[in-house]
C-alpha cells in the first residue's frame, strides 16, 4: 500500500498575489487543509495550506513558499499528497483509490481477468480500469457491489463478476 495518498491538485493561479486554485479529492473537501503539510508526488516540495475562499471547482488557497502569480502558475497540474497515517480510517466497504492500483482481479470462477491500472470517476460512479492479461488492452469495469463483490486488500486481490461481453 502507498505511504502517501493524493488528496488534491493545483489547477493554476488565482489572482496576482500567489494564491492557487486547489481541487480537493477528500470526502470533506475543506478537510484538505487539515492534512497539511502536503507534498508533491516526489516529496521534493512541502506546502502548508490555508484555504482563502471557494472558487468554481474548488478553493482559492495560499501555499507556503508561493508568493507570486508566476510561482502559482508554475505549480499548475501538480498533485498534492498527504501521509496515509494523517488520513481517517475507512469503513470496511470503502477504499483509497491508491490501495486498488495494481491488485489482481479474478472472476468468480478464479480465473485472472486483469490488474487494476487506475480508478476513474467521471461523475456517476467509480470505474476500475483493468489491463487485460496478455496485452496492453484495457477495459473499464463498474466498481459497484454487484460487479465487485469482494476486495481483499490483505491478499492483494479483487473478485469480480463483470457484465457479459465486457471482456470480449
Preceding peptide of 66 cis, ω within 30°: no
CA quadruple 97, 145, 92, 8: dihedral, nearest 10: 20
Of 65, 85, 105, the residue at which a domain comes to its end is: 85
The three cell numbers of residue 21 are 486554485
Assessment of whether the complete model's pTM goes beyond 0.75: no
Does residue 49 sit within a domain? yes
Alpha helix segments (H runs only) across 15-130: 69-74, 97-100
Domain of 45 in residue numbering reads as 4-85
Number of domains in the chain: 2
With b meaning 16 or more CB within 10 Å and e meaning fewer, what string describes 36-50? bebbeeeeebebebe
Q: What is the pLDDT along the chain (168 residues), one digit of tens a residue?
A: 458 889 999 999 999 999 999 999 888 899 999 999 999 999 999 999 999 999 998 999 999 999 999 999 999 999 999 998 888 888 877 888 888 999 999 999 899 999 999 998 777 788 999 999 887 789 999 999 899 999 998 889 999 999 888 887
CATH classification at residue 15: 2.40.30.60
Amino acid at each position: 500500500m502507498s505511504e502517501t495518498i493524493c488528496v488534491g491538485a493545483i489547477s493554476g493561479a488565482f489572482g496576482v498575489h500567489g494564491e492557487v486554485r486547489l481541487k480537493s479529492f477528500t470526502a470533506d473537501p475543506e478537510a484538505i487543509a487539515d492534512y497539511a503539510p502536503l507534498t508533491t508526488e516526489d516529496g521534493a516540495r512541502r506546502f502548508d495550506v490555508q484555504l482563502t475562499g471557494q472558487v468554481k471547482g474548488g478553493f482559492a488557497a495560499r501555499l507556503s513558499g508561493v508568493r507570486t502569480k508566476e510561482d502559482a502558475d508554475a505549480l499548475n497540474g501538480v498533485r498534492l499528497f498527504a501521509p496515509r497515517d494523517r488520513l481517517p480510517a475507512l469503513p470496511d466497504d470503502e477504499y483509497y483509490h491508491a490501495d486498488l492500483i495494481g491488485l489482481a482481479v479474478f472472476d468468480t470462477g478464479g480465473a485472472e481477468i486483469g490488474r487494476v491500472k487506475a480508478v476513474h470517476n467521471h461523475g456517476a460512479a467509480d470505474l476500475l480500469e483493468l489491463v487485460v492479461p496478455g496485452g496492453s488492452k484495457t477495459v473499464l469495469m463498474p466498481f459497484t457491489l454487484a460487479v465487485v463483490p469482494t476486495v481483499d486488500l490483505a491478499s492483494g486481490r479483487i473478485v469480480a463478476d463483470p457484465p457479459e461481453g465486457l471482456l470480449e
